[in-house]
A and B are shown apart, each in its own frame.
Chain A
Amino acid sequence: MLSIKHHLVAYGQSTIIQDLNLDVKKNEIVAVVGRNGMGKTTLMKSLVGMTPTKGGEVSLDGTDLTRLKSFQRVRAGLGFVPQGRMIFPTLTVRENIETGLAAVGEKKVPEDLYEMFPVLKEMQNRRGGNLSGGQQQQLAIARALATRPKVLLLDEPTEGIQPNIIKEIAQTLRRIRDERGLSILVSEQVLSFVMDAADRILVIEKGAIVHEENRAEADQEKIASYLAV
């Protein structure tokens, strides 16, 4: 579904991601884990076009994204939930979701989104900035889903969120995948979340994938050793 070949990202002289290759299959949840500063966020941002890419190819369902701008990538089917959620603070919850709808030319928030996140329906007229962290995370996911993505990218969705809600988010991701048949690429540091949510786990270190395992036969201790400082 999403295919990344020889991906290269650099800020000035310092190369952050070098020759990274990654494929996300249809209906698959792939987690990229790694310590701080290993290139997770850079990878995510460069995939959605917020950070310029120096080289390589990114294609989505056969469409070449490499030369597209951010908003064009989103319209081509890439949904993005950024680190820190980045909802629009002074827009209401409903308006936040509607900004995503504009990409596919719809006007009304589809009922199924509210069904998935009932709390958002309850709070639809509140300003996004006044929601709690967990609610904002749901809003960010709903906003990304409103763009009807084929692949959903999430950058550290558990950051700053309490443990019992982390479990909920993992379940939500699996539910989204099952109900909507899309693929998910998520970057993460919390191992328990990854073990709950992902089908396949990749370890990123210094901008390259150094280890790969299916969750079914994943060796938690080995992955944990990559995450340890």
Chain B
Amino acid sequence: MFDGYTSTELMSIFAMQGFAGLSLFSVFVLMALGLAIIFGQMGVINMAHGEFMILGAYTTYLTSGFFQSYLPGLFGGYFFIAMVLAFLICAALGALVEWLMIRHLYHRPLDTLLATWGLSLIMQQAYRSIFGAREVGVDLPEWMMGAIQVTDMVDLPINGLFVMIIALSVAVGVYLLMYRSGYGKKVRAVVQNRPMAEGVGINSAGIDRATFALGCGIAGIAGAAFTMIGSTGPSSGQAYIVDTFLVVVFGGAQSLIGTIVSAFGISQAQSTMEFFLSGSMAKVLTLLVVIGILMIRPEGLMALKVRR
């Protein structure tokens, strides 16, 4: 499949596809972090996670519109406000959903699957009714446009770089929260043994709500980042949810590093192979490798080894 390319051309193709993969990687990481946190702690598979991401994207769209109309002077910085808003709105909705629906369905994994899937349909239709079926895009501020030219043939777009920085900062933030804060300690205790966590005085229901809200909030940030690299439609979230599950399962549900490594591997593999093969062949190959590795390591790429 490499016929007809010179070796310098191949190198540039790999570099640029690799970089395009990095944008995908950023969205995967942000999506997978939220999903992994929620699945790891509560065993709830949130089928509506993609729709939470899209909620964040629409929030960013509205914020950018607001800045364009009322605060054009500050347009360059709208994205940061949008990101915070996306996080807060998605987290608030997440907390509400947990309180209304999810908490009644713990210990019933199939029911939560169905219920969150239903929720995803409701949210999609709501977007369609409110924002219309057409995809919307945001205008990038001046400083995010253009590209850094590395060599004659390799261009790295600034918005892609920016999205990647966001993803990595959020990942570091989540790491610090999970492994360095009091909240994180409680979360890990609840994950490992819920009744016992209660037995040392941890309010596990409260931790659940906070965690679900946090996971949805991070999906909101993913949505804000998503607007930088793609356009937003009511069902854009659907395209990402399956890949995100793949990332989470492949990385090992309780391992943050595993999630990041697997997001990197899968996004790079897909993006590079898509250039040479068709999109579906690329997906087939990725899936085959993932399945093969999961047969050898059922717990995922990186699982902690301790006596249990």
Contacts and interface: CB of A to CB of B under 8 A. Distances in A.
Given A88-B188, A89-B307, A103 B198 contact: no
Contacts of B195: 50, 70
B196 A86 contact: yes
A88 B306 contact: no
Band of interface residues on A: 20 to 34
Nearest to A133: B307
Nearest to B206: A71
Given A82-B196, A91-B188, A102 B201 contact: yes
B192 A91 contact: yes
B189 A48 contact: no
B186 interface: yes
A130 B306 contact: yes
Contacts of B200: 74, 80, 99-100, 102-103, 143-144, 146-147
Contacts of B307: 89, 129-130
Given A127-B306, A129-B306, A99 B189 contact: yes
B203 interface: yes
A44 to B, nearest CB: 10
A90 B307 CA distance: 9
B195 to A, nearest CB: 5
A149 B192 CA distance: 23
B193 A86 contact: yes
Q: Which of B193, B195, B196 has the most CB of A within 10 A?
A: B196
Contacts of B304: 90, 127
A177 to B, nearest CB: 20
Interface string A106-143: 01000000000000000000010110000000000001
A71 B189 contact: no
B188 A90 contact: yes
Contacts of B185: 91, 95, 98-99, 102
A48 B196 CA distance: 10
Interface in B181-199: 182, 185-186, 188-189, 192-193, 195-199
Contacts of A48: 199
Given A102-B182, A127-B306, A129-B306, A88 B189 contact: yes
A106 to B, nearest CB: 10
Contacts of A54: none
B193 to A, nearest CB: 6
B134 interface: no
A69 interface: yes
A107 to B, nearest CB: 7
B119 interface: no
Nearest to A91: B188
A74 B198 CA distance: 8
A207 interface: no
B176 to A, nearest CB: 15
A75 B306 contact: no
A80 B306 contact: no
Nearest to B182: A102
Given A50-B198, A69-B198, A71-B201, A99 B193 contact: no
A155 B224 CA distance: 51
Contacts of B196: 82, 86, 88
B185 to A, nearest CB: 5
Nearest to A79: B200
B202 interface: yes
Interface in B134-190: 182, 185-186, 188-189
Interface string B1-22: 0000000000000000000000
A49 interface: yes
Contacts of A69: 198
A189 B176 CA distance: 44
B236 interface: no
Interface in A46-66: 48-50
22 contacts: A48-B199, A70-B199, A71-B198, A71-B204, A74-B198, A82-B196, A82-B199, A88-B188, A88-B193, A88-B196, A90-B192, A91-B185, A91-B188, A91-B189, A91-B192, A99-B186, A99-B197, A99-B200, A102-B200, A102-B201, A102-B202, A129-B306
Given A49-B198, A88-B188, A130-B306, 14 more contacts: A48-B199, A50-B195, A71-B198, A71-B204, A74-B198, A75-B201, A86-B199, A88-B193, A88-B197, A90-B192, A99-B185, A100-B200, A102-B202, A107-B182
Interface of A: 48-50, 69-71, 74-75, 80, 82, 86, 88-91, 95, 98-100, 102-104, 107, 127, 129-130, 143-144, 146-147
Which 7 A-B residue pairs are closest in the complex by CB-CB distance?
A: A103-B201, A129-B306, A70-B198, A74-B201, A86-B196, A100-B200, A88-B192
